[in-house]
């Protein structure tokens, strides 16, 4: 039954309710630019009515049912998935861009230009086979070819090493994020069990998931008391308030390294039971693929080209005669791009001729022509041993593969960025804070608060008359 002071109680509830609603609006405005913040709304509901015969039920005021988080779970999952893909393609595009700069084509510092100058030097020597200056140019251009191969190969190798180091760093970051997510799960469950809504804690957890999605692939499963689980393939990374750590182990790479070929201990991402981790389509997976497959394949292409060049040049050079009439020695030493180097240092030892003048009793033999130098220059247009293509074609093929992959990666980055921006806009339409909307709501609740205060004032005045003036005659 309604009592004498029901009006005060209704007014008090209205004041407290609209005050809480204003607090929520203040919280929204304060976090308008906070990354990952989700707009909150105070849901109001009429409190249970009282029996008031003969009028039926009499209202008792208003209260805040809950402070609701305007969260679009479906869009959030899509955002995480697209962040994973974007991380993969951004890593691919960035690293392949580095490879393109290492190859430096077409520039004067690239292997292709060095080879062009090398063949040109032999062509000039064929015209003046006894010229020491022309021979010195050949040696200098040969050193340029060897340096270009070794330098490019070394840069690709160092890129592999950097990726190897970064993989280990990223694994540590994943473990840190997993631990923080598990801790937030624990806090969220505690708040939910108290019957409260842990909105800000859930925002913090979503932001950690967003950071995690830029590194590794995963799926999310809902748990009890507001907790979630994070799964990577067949293994749990986070299960409620428990985090499982990724580990690393090393193995010699590449497995087929021969002789003095550079080799390093490659980091593998594993679980404590020894299973390889399923990294999904992610930045971390891109690092592994680049290190183990793409860059290693391009390094092997360089080694194959250098080995074929060494074999073909040496085959021609050892069949010719030097300036002293001696059979030519090997021109290039080494087995591949990592160790190609010039084997001769004296200009006179360059075998430019295919015969020697005079006879065996000639005390001063000398080359009679520049046919070997000419044959060497013609190697530019001949298919190299074991490659079935010319040196220029081999470089063009390598550049085409790198460029094609780089272009595809860049296109995918642009596509993913557009899609991600669309999803961000979709999320913002539900979860983002609109200052104009908050200002409108603020004015609405402010007026309601002021009206509730006026109601209390009116009820207070009525009770004052009832208590102090009722029964006093003559007043």
- The pLDDT tens digits for 270-291 are 999 999 999 999 999 999 999 9
Note whether 318 and 355 are same-domain residues: yes
Note whether 310 and 236 are same-domain residues: yes
> What pLDDT sits at residue 364?
46
Closest CA to 302 of 409, 155, 97, 120: 155
Note whether 146 and 288 are same-domain residues: yes
Note whether 168 and 246 are same-domain residues: yes
> 270, 234 in Cβ contact below 8 A?
no
104 falls within a domain: yes
| φ, ψ (nearest 5 deg) of residue 327 | -60, 140
What is the number of structural domains in the chain?
2
Note whether 241 and 274 are same-domain residues: yes
CB within 8 A of 132, min separation 6: which ones? 347, 348
426 falls within a domain: no
Q: Structural domain of residue 103, as residue ranges? A: 77-421
Instruction: Give pTM, 2 decimals.
Output: 0.86
Note whether 89 and 226 are same-domain residues: yes
User: 3-class SS at 268?
Assistant: strand
Q: Facing residues of 266 across strands?
A: 251
Note whether 233 and 265 are same-domain residues: yes
220 falls within a domain: yes
DSSP 467: I
Note whether 345 and 440 are same-domain residues: no
| φ, ψ (nearest 5 deg) of residue 279 | -90, -10
Beta strands (DSSP E) in 35-149 are 40-46, 50-51, 57-58, 62-69
Note whether 112 and 44 are same-domain residues: no
1 falls within a domain: no
Tens-digit pLDDT profile for residues 20-39: 999 999 999 999 999 889 99
Note whether 220 and 295 are same-domain residues: yes
> What pLDDT sits at residue 58?
80
Instruction: Work out whether the CA dihedral 272, 278, 280, 282 comes out positive or negative.
Output: positive
Tens-digit pLDDT profile for residues 286-340: 999 999 999 999 999 999 999 999 999 999 999 999 988 899 999 999 999 999 9
Give CA–CA dist 369/139, Å, rounded. Answer: 19
């Amino acid at each position: 039954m309604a009592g004498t002071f029901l009006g005060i109680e209704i007014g008090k509830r209205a004041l407290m309710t609209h005050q809480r609603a204003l607090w929520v609006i203040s919280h929204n405005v304060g976090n308008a630019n906070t990354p990952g913040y989700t707009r909150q709304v105070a849901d109001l509901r009429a409190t249970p009515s009282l029996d008031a015969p003969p009028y039926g039920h009499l209202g008792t005021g208003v209260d805040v049912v809950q402070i609701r988080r305007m969260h679009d779970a479906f869009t959030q999952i899509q955002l995480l998935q697209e962040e994973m893909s974007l991380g993969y393609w951004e890593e691919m595009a960035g690293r392949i861009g580095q490879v393109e700069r290492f190859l430096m084509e077409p520039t004067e510092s690239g292997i292709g230009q060095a080879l062009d100058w090398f063949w040109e030097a032999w062509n000039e020597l064929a015209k003046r086979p006894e010229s020491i200056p022309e021979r010195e140019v050949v040696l200098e251009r040969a050193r340029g070819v060897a340096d270009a191969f070794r330098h490019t190969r070394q840069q690709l190798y160092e890129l592999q090493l950097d990726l190897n180091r970064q993989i280990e760093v990223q694994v540590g970051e994943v473990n840190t994020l997993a631990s923080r997510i598990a801790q937030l799960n624990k806090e969220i469950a505690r708040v939910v069990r108290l019957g409260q809504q842990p909105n800000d804690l859930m925002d913090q957890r979503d932001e950690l998931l967003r950071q995690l999605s830029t590194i590794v692939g995963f799926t999310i499963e809902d748990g009890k008391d507001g907790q979630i689980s994070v799964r990577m393939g067949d293994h749990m990374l986070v299960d409620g308030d428990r985090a499982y750590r990724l580990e690393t182990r090393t193995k010699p790479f590449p497995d087929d390294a021969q002789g003095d070929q550079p080799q390093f201990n490659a980091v593998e991402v594993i679980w404590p039971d020894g299973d390889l981790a399923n990294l999904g389509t992610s930045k971390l997976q891109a690092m592994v693929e680049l290190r183990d497959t793409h860059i290693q394949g391009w390094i092997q292409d360089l080694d194959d080209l250098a080995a074929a060049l060494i074999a073909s040049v040496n085959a021609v050079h050892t069949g010719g005669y030097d300036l002293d009439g001696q059979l030519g020695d090997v021109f290039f030493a080494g087995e591949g791009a990592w160790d190609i180097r010039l084997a001769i240092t004296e200009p006179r030892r360059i075998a430019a001729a295919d015969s020697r003048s005079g006879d065996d009793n000639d005390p001063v033999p000398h080359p009679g022509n520049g046919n070997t130098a000419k044959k060497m220059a013609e190697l530019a247009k001949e298919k190299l041993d074991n490659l079935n293509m010319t040196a220029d074609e081999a470089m063009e093929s390598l550049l085409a593969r790198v460029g094609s992959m780089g272009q595809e990666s860049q296109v995918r980055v642009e596509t993913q960025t557009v899609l991600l921006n669309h999803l961000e806009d979709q999320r913002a339409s539900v979860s983002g804070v609109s200052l104009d909307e908050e200002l409108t709501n603020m004015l609405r609740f402010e007026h309601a608060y002021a009206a509730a205060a006026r109601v209390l004032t009116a009820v207070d005045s009525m009770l004052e008359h009832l208590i102090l003036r009722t029964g006093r005659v003559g007043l």
